[in-house]
Chain A
Amino acid sequence: MPQLDHTWFASQIFWLFVIFAIFYFVLSKLVLPKLGAAIEGREKRIEGDLARAGSLKGESDAMIATYEKALAESRAKAQAVRAETEAKLAKEAAAKSAELNAALADKIKAAETRIGQARKDALSNVESLAAEIAVEAARKIAGLTVSEADARAAARG
């Protein structure tokens, strides 16, 4: 087995050390710092981007909150204005209807008075007519002379 031929042991170990040392030097000076920096830079960049995204999200959340607050305030204000207007309108309407009711009541009263008067007049007309008819009837039928006042009292019953 050529592996066990000790002629070449020293040479193999010598060149192993020489070549490994050069390889180590090249990798640790030229390769690893750059690869490490690239990886670390990427991680930093990602972290930074995430942090920025977080702060932007915070800002937009605050903005949304402000907007919501303004919206709620204006909604409340609108509600208040509406309620106030409604109350005012209701008051006005109540006043107007009261006024109208009063006017109508006056008119109704006047009309009732007038109707009462007319009925009274009509009744008295009927009374005198009945008395007159009674006086005439008494005179013509019985030949009696009845005073109009008695006839009126009789007609009234």
Chain B
Amino acid sequence: MSSPLEQFQIEPIVPFDVAGVNLAYTNSALWMTLASLGAGALLVASARDGKLVPGRLQSIGELMYEFIATMVRDNVGNAGKKYFPFFFTLFSFVLFGNLFGLIPGGFTFTSHIAVTFGMALTIFVVITIIGIAKHGTHFFALFFPSGAPLVTAPVLIPIEIISYMARPISLSIRLFANMTVGHIILKIFAGFVISLGAFLLVPGIVPFAILVGLVGLEIFIAALHAYIFTILSCIYLNDAIHLH
């Protein structure tokens, strides 16, 4: 039986290098493409008619639109309006990446720290730049809560800086770890099904039943972590725009 970690193995499909840097088109990139194409096709089809009374397809797009619009409005306020398309794209990208990863034989690009950290770090850097552009040096007041006694500064400021710097790390590890662990568990239970006899009533049916439940749980976790990733990004943006 193959290792449960084998599913995370990256295989090059179209290898190429730019100035000695390996930028091969891999199975990870392929599933990124498929997830984006799937989400894009669904959403384009959903937005096509723009009917007064939406059908099922249009409702999917509108529900996602309203969901993210409400999230951005509630967490960032009116200043967040212009970042709405970004958050919508981020949510769709992570959500469909997680969901497409659950297709048997598929590849979960969100279970790779390089991808999640790439997203989290980019968001972190851009949000920090937005904050500095908006507030100038006053932005660094973020590291010292207003109203705290000045004596506490030597302790508070390093803590605040560390907690701020830890944001992209916690954001990326949360998604990566959840996806990885979920898929490892699925793989292990799937292995039990095969090794105990998949189509014998007992005992193969037991891990099979558990596996069915776990897939449902993983679908929920896929949606939940897309939501968490997006809402935390919103909250970080809000901190940068409105400070404390």
Contact = CB atoms under 8 A, between A and B. Distances in A.
A122 interface: no
Contacts of A1: 5, 8
B119 A27 contact: no
A15 B119 CA distance: 12
B233 interface: no
A126 to B, nearest CB: 120
B109 to A, nearest CB: 7
Contacts of A45: 52
Interface string B21-38: 111111011001100100
Interface stretch (B58-66, B203-211, B213-221, B222-230): B58-66
A38 B26 CA distance: 38
Contacts of A41: 50, 52
B113 interface: yes
A2 interface: yes
A30 B48 CA distance: 9
Interface stretch (A4-12, A74-82, A131-139): A4-12
A11 B89 contact: no
Contact of B40 (A2, A8, A17, A27): A27
Contacts of A2: 5, 8-10
B32 A27 contact: no
B199 interface: no
A3 B112 CA distance: 5
B111 interface: yes
B115 A16 contact: yes
Interface size class of A (residues with CB under 8 A): 35 or more
Contacts of B85: 24, 27-28, 32
B21 A27 contact: no
Contacts of B176: 3
Contacts of B36: 19-20, 22-23
B196 interface: no
User: A14, A23, A39, A42 — which one has the most chain B CB atoms within 10 A of its CB?
Assistant: A23
A120 interface: no
Contacts of B12: 11
Contact of B44 (A9, A30, A38, A39): A30
B88 A32 contact: yes
Contacts of B112: 3, 12
B22 to A, nearest CB: 6
B26 A8 contact: yes
11 contacts: A2-B10, A10-B22, A10-B23, A12-B109, A17-B118, A19-B33, A19-B36, A32-B47, A35-B62, A38-B47, A38-B62
